[in-house]
Amino acid sequence: MTHSMRFLLLFSRQGKLRLQKWFTPMSEREKKKIIRDMTTMVLARQPRSCNFLHWKDLKVIYKRYASLYFCLAIENQENELIALEVIHRYVELLDKYFGNVCELDIIFNFEKAYFILDEFLIGGEIQETSKQMVNRSIEASDMLQETMEEYMSKPAF
């Protein structure tokens, strides 16, 4: 059983995890090991290396944006260059939502980062290729949340 993407990790330059999305079932122990391996491998890379690594039977695509490393593991036969575009698209989506997104935004609003990701990818595949569509869906969901909260907090007679 193969997914195009196996997992997506975001971590800081000190190796602190900011987001983890797993596209195949894995035990807690396995996840922890992978996180350790990824952070070690990626943080050890020279500044002007290429963005692709080999790890076990996967290709690991990583890119640094400011103080955050985005680390996406894909199947061996997948296209590395488009994977870089996937990472970039996610960063653009975050940037549009938070306005000049920085690491702190993702720390303090981590659940939003997940909601945005879940409008872009599902089950390790791209679900929507249009930036605007994703943004609209997020906005609409947020509106729904507020509306329902307001509705629910109104006293019932």
Partner 1 sequence: MSPSVPLQEMIRAIRSARTQCEERGVIQRECAAIRAQFRQADNGGRSHNLAKLLYVHMLGYPAHFGQMECVRMIASPRYSEKRVGYLGAMMLLDEKQDASLLITNSIKNDLSHSNQYVQSLALCTLACMGSAEMCRDLAPEIDRLLRASNSYIKKKAALCAVHIVRKVHELGELFVPAARSLLSEKNHGVLHGAVVLIIELCEQNPETLERFRKTVPDLVQIMKGLVLSGYSPEHDVAGISDPFLQVRILRLLRILGRNNEGASDSMNDLLAQVATNTDSTKTVGNAVLYETVLTVLDIKSESGLRVLAVNILGRFLLNNDRNIRYIAMTSLQKIVGTDHNAVQRHRGTIVDCLKDQDASVKRRALELSLALVSASNIRSMMKELLLFLSSCPPELRAHAASGIFNAAERYAPSQRWHIDTMLHVLITAGGDVRDETVPNLIQLITNASELHCYTVHKLYRALLLDISQQSLVQVACWCIGEYGDLLLKGDCQETEPVQVTEDDALDALETVLQSHMSSPATRGFALTATMKLSTRITDNVDRIRSIVSIYGSCIDVELQQRAVEYNALFRKYDHMRAAVLERMPVIEKNSPGHTNGESTGEAVKDVPTAKMKQGEPLLLQQPANQVCDLLDLLGGSEETLQPGPAVDCLVSGLSVHAAGTAGGDLLDLLGGFEPAELSPAPQVLAYDKGGVTLTLSCEKQSDTGLTVTLTASNSSDSDLSSFTLQAAVPKSVQLHMKAPSGDSLPARGTAKVTQMVVLNNPNKVNLKMRVRVSYTRQGSPFQDTVQIDSFPGLDAAGQ
Q: Which residues bind partner 1 (CB under 8 A)?
A: 1-4, 17-20, 23, 25-27, 32, 46, 48-53, 79-82, 84-86, 107-112, 114-115, 118, 122-123, 125-130, 132-133, 137, 140-142, 144-146, 148-149, 152-153
Residue 127 CB, shortest distance to partner 1, in Å, is 5
Residue 156 CB, shortest distance to partner 1, in Å, is 13
Question: Token match 């260059």: residue?
Answer: 81
Residue 157 CB, shortest distance to partner 1, in Å, is 18
Q: Which is closer to partner 1, CB of 100 or CB of 153?
A: 153
Q: Report d(CA 93, CA 131) in Å as an integer.
A: 7
Residue 42 CB, shortest distance to partner 1, in Å, is 13
Helices (H) then strands (E): counts for the chain: 5, 7
Contacts of residue 92, defined as CB under 8 A and 6 or more positions apart, other chains included, come to 131
Q: Which is closer to partner 1, CB of 37 or CB of 125?
A: 125
Q: Which is closer to partner 1, CB of 27 or CB of 100?
A: 27
Parallel/antiparallel/unpaired status of strands 52-55 and 58-65: antiparallel
Q: Which is closer to partner 1, CB of 153 or CB of 157?
A: 153
- 3-state DSSP call for residue 149? helix
- Sign (positive or negative) of CA dihedral 137, 4, 108, 95: negative
